[in-house]
C-alpha cells in the first residue's frame, strides 16, 4: 500500500483529495461524500457525464468504510486558467454552465465552479473534479455562483481591456489569493 499524501493542489475539498501513486493520479473519496458518490454512480449520472465528454472518466479501484479510491483517466498535460487563450477561457466557462444545467436536469448541482476544475484534453475542455457534484435542493441558490462570477464572468468581462493583461492579473490572483 502506498502512503496517500494529498497533492499540494488538492487542499480545499473536505470530500476528498487527489494523490500521486507511482506516477499515477488517484482520488480518495472520504465518508462525508459517500452518499453523493453512490447516488451519482448508481443512478448512472457519472456514466452520462463520461459518455457526453463532460467529466474525465474514472475507474473505481477500492471501496472500504474509510475511503473510496478512484483513478481518473490519464491526462498527459494539464493546462491552467492563466495559460488559456480567450477562446479556451470562454469554452471552460460554457462547459461549467453546461455542466450545471445538465446536473440540474438530473437532480444534482455543481457545488463549486472553479476554473481549476477544468483542463483541456484531446482538443476540448473537460471537467476533472469528480467530487464537485451534490444533490440539488429546491429553493436554494447555486452554491458555485459566486465562484463562477469571480473565476469566469469577471475575467471575460474585463477582457475588453486586453486578454494578455487579464491573464497576467488572473495568474497573480490565483497564485497569491486562495479561493
**What domains are defined for the chain?**
16-72 (no CATH), 81-176 (1.10.510)
Copy the grid coordinates of residue 86: 480567450
- Per DSSP bridges, beta strands 16-21 and 24-29 are antiparallel
State the pLDDT at residue 43.
98
Q: Cα separations (Å) of 23 from 26, 59, 74, 94?
A: 10, 16, 10, 31
Identify the pLDDT of residue 3: 57
Question: Across-strand partners of 144?
Answer: none
Contact 37, 45 (CB under 8 A): no
- In the chain, which residues have pLDDT < 50? 1-2
Amino acid at each position: 500500500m502506498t502512503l496517500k499524501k494529498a497533492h499540494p493542489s488538492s487542499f480545499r475539498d473536505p470530500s476528498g483529495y487527489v494523490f500521486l501513486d507511482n506516477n499515477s493520479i488517484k482520488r480518495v473519496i472520504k465518508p462525508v461524500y459517500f452518499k453523493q458518490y453512490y447516488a451519482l454512480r448508481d443512478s448512472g449520472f457519472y456514466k452520462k457525464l463520461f459518455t457526453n465528454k463532460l467529466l474525465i472518466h474514472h475507474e473505481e479501484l477500492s471501496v472500504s468504510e474509510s475511503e473510496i479510491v478512484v483513478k481518473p483517466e490519464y491526462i498527459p498535460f494539464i493546462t491552467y486558467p492563466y495559460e488559456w487563450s480567450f477562446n479556451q477561457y470562454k469554452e471552460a466557462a460554457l462547459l461549467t454552465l453546461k455542466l450545471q444545467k445538465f446536473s440540474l436536469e438530473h437532480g444534482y448541482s455543481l457545488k463549486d465552479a472553479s476554473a481549476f476544475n477544468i483542463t483541456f484534453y484531446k482538443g476540448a475542455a473537460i471537467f476533472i473534479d469528480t467530487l464537485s457534484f451534490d444533490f440539488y435542493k429546491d429553493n436554494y441558490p447555486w452554491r458555485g455562483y459566486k465562484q463562477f462570477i469571480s473565476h469566469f464572468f469577471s475575467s471575460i468581462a474585463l477582457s475588453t481591456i486586453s486578454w494578455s493583461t487579464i491573464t497576467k492579473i488572473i495568474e497573480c490572483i490565483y497564485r497569491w489569493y486562495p479561493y
